[in-house]
C-alpha cells in the first residue's frame, strides 16, 4: 500500500514539474527583445551573416515548440544559460549562493519549529492564562508583519542602536574563518526570518492540541485517573503533532519568499540576494534559473512531507 | 453555543442564519476591534485632504529630512515632502491595490473552482494541475519574475498579485462544489431541465459565499503584504506615487535607516495595523460563519 501511495505521489509530481518548466518557458517568450541579444548585443561588431550562423549554432532558428525541448534538455543537464552581466554560467552562480541560503533557512526553520512547538504546547496547556494571551496576541502580530519590516526593525534596534550584532553580511571581511564570527552574523537574520513561521507553527500547535484535548478519549483517560500531565504529553500531544509535519512542508515556500527580503535587508550573500540582483539588472537567464530551482525545491519538499506524513500516521488514507 | 439554547428561538422568533452569524461576529471582541481599526484606517486614508494641508508630492527642499514638529507631524523626507501626508495618501494606494487584487483572484478562483468541482473529469484534472503549478512557486518569486518581464507599475502590481493568489479560493470553492454536485436540490434542478449556467450561478454559488467571504478578507491582508514587499524592493508601485511599501524603501539606505526612522517607520506601522485588523476580521468571520471550527 505504502509503495503504491509513494509511486502515485511521484507520478503526480513529475507532470507538475514538467508543467512548471512549460509555464516558465512560455514566460521566457514574453521577455522583450531577441534572445540572440543576450549573446551578441545589437551593436556588437559582427556581420548579418555571422548573426545567422550564430543563431543557427545556438538553435535559435527553430520554432518555439522545438526550442522548448532544446531548453528542457539543457536544463536537465544543469545548463541554465549564461548571466547577462558577466557571461558566467547561471548554475555556477546558484551553486555559490545556495550554501549561505541553506544555512540561513535551516537555522531559521529549527528556531521556528522548536520555539513554535514549545510555546504552542504551553499556551494550550495553560489556556486563558497570561502566558497564553500574551503569546497568542504576539503570534497574531507575528503573522501580520511583512518579513522586510521586521528585518528592518531588528536591524535598526539590535545592530544600529544597541550595537549587539553586526549590521549584515556573512562574516567580517578580511578575517580568517571563525565559527563565532559566523554565528554572530547569522543570529539576527535567522531569528527574524523565523518570526512568521514561528508564529504560524505556534498557532497551529495550540489549536490542534486544544481540539485534541476536547476529544472523548482524553476525557476517558482523565476519568480513569490518568494525571493531566500524562494525558497531555502521552495522549493528546502525539495525535496533535502528527499534522505539524505537513505544516512544516507548507511553510517552505514562505521561508523561501521571506529569505529574499531578509537576505536583502541583512546583505546575506545567498540565493535571495542573487535573485534580486538578477531582477534589478533584468538578467533573465539568472531570474528564470533561480525561479526554476525554487519551484523544484518546493515540489520536492511537498513530496517528502507527504511521504513522511504517510509513514508516521497509520490513519492516512492511501486511496486519496 | 447550542442552537436549542438560543434565547431568541425560545422566545419564538427564529433568526436567519446570517443574522445569527452577525451576532456571533459582534460578540467576538477581537473581530469588532479589528473592524473598527480597519474602518478608521480607510477613513483616514480617504479623508487625507481634510487631515493635512500638505500634498503627497509637494517638495520643500529648504526643510528636508526634518524631525517631527508641529508643522510636520512625522517630519519630512530627503526632498522635503511631508511624511505624514505621504503616509496617508499611500494608504489609499495600498488599500486599493489589496482590495482590487483580491477581487481579481476571487473572480478567477471562484470561476475555475466552480467549473472544476461541478464538471469534474478532464476539466477538474487540468484546473487542479494548474493550481499545483502556480502553488509550486513562492508568491513573491512569481511576482518579481513577472514584474521583471512585464515591467513594474500600478496596473501590473494589481494584476500580478491577482494572478498569484487565485489557487487558494479555487481549491476551497472546488471542494465545496464537489459536495454540492451530489446534493438533492442540485440534482432536482438538473432533472427538471434548469440550464447548467443557471444551476451554477443561482443554485450552487450562494452556498460558497461564506468560504469566499472568509478567504477574501484574509486575501486582502496577503495582497497588502505582497504589494508592500514588491514596492519595498522597487518592483511594485513606482515613486512619486506613494505606497506603504515604497515609503519603507527609503530604509534600504543605511544612513536613512539609522538617522531618520520617522521617514520609514510610520508606513511600516500602518501596514502591521492594517494586516492585524484584517486578520482579526477574517478569523472572526470564519468563526461566525462556521461555528464548528474553533480558531
Measured in residues, chain B has a length of 295
Percent of chain A past pLDDT 90, that is, above it, reads 10
**Mean per-residue pLDDT, A266-285:** 85
**Mean per-residue pLDDT, A156-181:** 76
Task: Give the pLDDT confidence score for residue B31 in this predicted structure.
Answer: 87
Interface test with A, best of B143, B144, B146 (most A CBs within 10 A): B144
pTM of the model as a whole? 0.84
- The larger pLDDT score, comparing residue A93 to residue B6, is at A93
Q: Is 1.10.3720.10 the CATH number for A90-312?
A: yes
Confidence tier at B3 by pLDDT (50, 70, 90): very low
Task: Give the pLDDT confidence score for residue B112 in this predicted structure.
Answer: 94
* Whether the Cβ atoms of residue B168 and residue B215 lie closer than 8 Å to each other: yes
* Whether the Cβ atoms of residue B257 and residue B251 lie closer than 8 Å to each other: yes
**Mean per-residue pLDDT, B112-116:** 93
**Nearest-Cα residue of chain B relative to residue A30:** B149
**Mean per-residue pLDDT, B91-108:** 93
* Whether the Cβ atoms of residue B32 and residue B286 lie closer than 8 Å to each other: no
Following DSSP, what letter does each residue of B37-71 receive, concatenated? HHHHHHHHHHTHHHH-SS-TT---GGGTTPPP-SS
**Range among A114-123, A160-169, B140-149 with highest mean pLDDT value:** A114-123
Q: What are the beta bridge partners of residue A82?
A: A89
Confidence tier at B289 by pLDDT (50, 70, 90): confident
A302 CA to centre of own chain: 11
Task: Give the pLDDT confidence score for residue A1 in this predicted structure.
Answer: 66
Q: Which of B227, B215, B212, B213 is nearest to B139 (CA)?
A: B227
CA distance B270 to chain A (A): 10
Which of A21-30, A108-117, B159-168 shows the lowest mean pLDDT across its residues?
A21-30
Q: What is the DSSP letter of A61?
A: T
- Mean pLDDT, chain A, rounded, equals 82
* Whether the Cβ atoms of residue B94 and residue B245 lie closer than 8 Å to each other: yes
Among candidates B129, B139, B147 on the partner chain, residue whose Cβ is nearest the Cβ of A15: B129
Is the pLDDT confidence value at A320 over 60?
Answer: no
List the grid coordinates of B110: 471562484
- Measured CA to CA, the distance from residue B213 to residue A277 in angstroms comes to 38
Element (H, E) at A181: helix A179-213
A275 CA to centre of own chain: 13
Q: What is the DSSP letter of B251?
A: G
Numbered residues of chain B with Cβ closer than 8 Å to any chain A Cβ: 129-130, 132-133, 135-142, 144-150, 221, 225, 228-229, 232-235, 248, 251-252, 254, 257-258, 261, 264, 268, 271-272, 275-276, 279-280, 294-295
Among candidates B130, B229, B272 on the partner chain, residue whose Cβ is nearest the Cβ of A148: B229
List the grid coordinates of B220: 486582502
Evaluated on CA atoms B144, B146, B149, B150, the torsion sign reads negative
Each residue's pLDDT tens digit, B188-217: 998 998 998 899 888 888 888 888 888 888
Interface test with B, best of A152, A155, A204, A271 (most B CBs within 10 A): A152
Confidence tier at A9 by pLDDT (50, 70, 90): confident
Alpha helix ranges (H) inside chain B: 7-10, 17-27, 29-46, 48-51, 83-119, 121-135, 139-150, 154-164, 167-180, 184-191, 196-198, 209-232, 244-248, 254-259, 261-289
**Mean per-residue pLDDT, B132-149:** 84
**Mean per-residue pLDDT, B139-157:** 85
Each residue's pLDDT tens digit, A70-92: 888 888 888 887 777 777 888 88
- Mean pLDDT, chain B, rounded, equals 83
* 0.90 surpassed by complex ipTM: no
Amino acid at each position: 500500500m505504502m509503495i503504491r501511495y509513494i509511486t502515485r505521489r511521484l507520478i503526480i509530481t513529475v507532470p507538475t514539474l514538467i508543467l512548471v518548466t512549460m509555464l516558465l518557458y512560455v514566460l521566457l517568450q514574453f521577455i522583450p527583445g531577441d534572445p540572440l541579444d543576450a549573446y551578441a548585443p545589437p551593436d556588437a561588431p559582427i556581420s548579418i551573416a555571422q548573426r545567422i550562423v550564430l543563431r543557427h549554432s545556438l538553435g535559435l532558428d527553430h520554432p518555439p515548440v522545438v526550442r522548448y525541448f532544446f531548453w528542457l534538455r539543457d536544463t536537465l543537464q544543469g545548463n541554465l544559460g549564461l548571466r547577462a552581466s558577466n557571461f558566467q554560467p547561471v548554475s555556477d552562480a546558484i551553486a555559490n549562493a545556495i550554501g549561505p541560503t541553506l544555512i540561513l533557512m535551516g537555522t531559521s526553520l529549527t528556531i521556528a519549529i522548536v520555539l513554535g512547538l514549545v510555546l504552542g504546547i504551553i499556551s494550550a496547556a495553560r489556556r486563558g492564562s497570561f502566558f497564553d494571551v500574551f503569546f497568542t496576541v504576539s503570534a497574531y502580530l507575528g503573522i501580520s508583519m511583512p518579513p522586510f519590516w521586521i528585518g528592518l526593525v531588528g536591524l535598526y534596534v539590535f545592530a544600529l542602536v544597541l550595537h549587539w550584532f553586526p549590521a549584515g553580511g556573512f562574516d567580517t571581511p578580511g578575517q580568517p574563518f571563525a565559527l563565532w564570527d559566523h554565528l554572530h552574523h547569522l543570529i539576527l537574520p535567522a531569528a527574524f526570518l523565523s518570526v512568521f513561521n514561528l508564529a504560524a507553527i505556534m498557532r497551529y500547535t495550540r489549536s490542534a492540541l486544544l481540539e485534541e484535548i476536547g476529544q472523548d478519549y482524553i476525557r476517558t483517560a482523565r476519568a480513569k485517573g490518568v494525571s493531566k500531565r500524562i494525558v497531555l504529553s502521552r495522549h493528546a500531544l502525539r495525535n496533535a503533532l502528527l499534522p505539524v509535519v505537513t505544516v512544516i512542508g507548507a511553510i517552505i515556500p514562505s521561508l523561501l519568499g521571506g529569505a529574499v527580503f531578509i537576505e536583502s535587508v541583512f546583505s546575506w550573500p545567498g540565493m535571495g540576494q542573487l535573485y534580486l540582483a538578477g531582477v534589478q539588472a533584468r538578467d533573465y537567464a539568472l531570474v528564470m534559473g533561480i525561479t526554476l530551482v525554487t519551484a523544484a525545491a518546493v515540489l520536492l519538499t511537498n513530496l517528502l512531507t507527504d511521504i513522511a506524513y504517510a509513514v508516521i500516521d497509520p490513519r492516512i488514507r492511501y486511496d486519496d | 453555543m447550542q442552537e436549542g439554547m438560543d434565547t431568541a428561538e425560545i422566545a419564538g422568533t427564529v433568526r436567519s442564519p446570517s443574522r445569527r452569524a452577525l451576532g456571533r461576529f459582534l460578540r467576538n471582541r477581537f473581530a469588532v476591534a479589528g473592524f473598527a481599526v480597519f474602518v478608521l484606517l480607510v477613513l483616514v486614508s480617504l479623508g487625507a485632504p481634510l487631515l493635512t494641508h500638505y500634498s503627497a508630492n509637494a517638495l520643500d527642499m529648504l526643510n528636508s529630512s526634518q524631525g517631527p514638529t508641529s508643522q510636520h507631524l512625522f517630519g519630512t523626507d530627503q526632498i522635503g515632502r511631508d511624511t505624514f501626508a505621504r503616509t496617508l495618501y499611500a494608504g489609499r494606494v495600498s488599500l486599493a491595490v489589496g482590495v482590487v487584487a483580491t477581487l481579481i483572484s476571487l473572480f478567477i478562483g471562484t470561476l475555475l473552482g466552480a467549473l472544476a468541482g461541478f464538471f469534474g473529469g478532464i476539466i477538474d484534472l487540468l484546473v487542479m494541475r494548474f493550481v499545483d503549478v502556480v502553488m509550486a512557486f513562492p508568491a513573491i518569486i512569481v511576482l518579481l519574475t513577472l514584474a521583471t518581464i512585464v515591467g513594474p507599475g500600478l496596473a501590473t502590481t494589481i494584476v500580478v498579485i491577482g494572478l498569484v493568489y487565485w489557487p487558494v479560493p479555487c481549491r476551497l470553492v472546488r471542494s465545496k462544489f464537489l459536495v454540492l454536485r451530489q446534493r438533492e436540490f442540485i440534482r432536482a434542478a438538473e432533472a427538471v431541465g434548469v440550464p447548467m449556467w443557471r444551476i451554477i450561478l443561482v443554485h450552487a454559488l450562494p452556498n460558497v459565499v461564506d468560504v469566499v467571504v472568509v478567504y477574501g478578507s484574509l486575501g486582502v491582508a496577503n495582497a497588502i503584504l505582497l504589494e508592500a514587499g514588491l514596492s519595498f524592493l522597487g518592483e511594485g508601485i513606482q515613486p512619486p506615487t506613494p505606497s506603504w511599501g515604497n515609503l519603507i524603501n527609503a530604509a534600504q539606505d543605511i544612513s536613512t535607516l539609522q538617522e531618520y526612522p520617522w521617514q520609514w517607520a510610520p508606513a511600516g506601522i500602518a501596514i502591521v495595523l492594517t494586516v492585524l485588523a484584517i486578520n482579526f476580521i477574517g478569523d472572526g468571520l470564519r468563526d461566525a460563519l462556521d461555528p464548528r471550527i474553533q480558531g
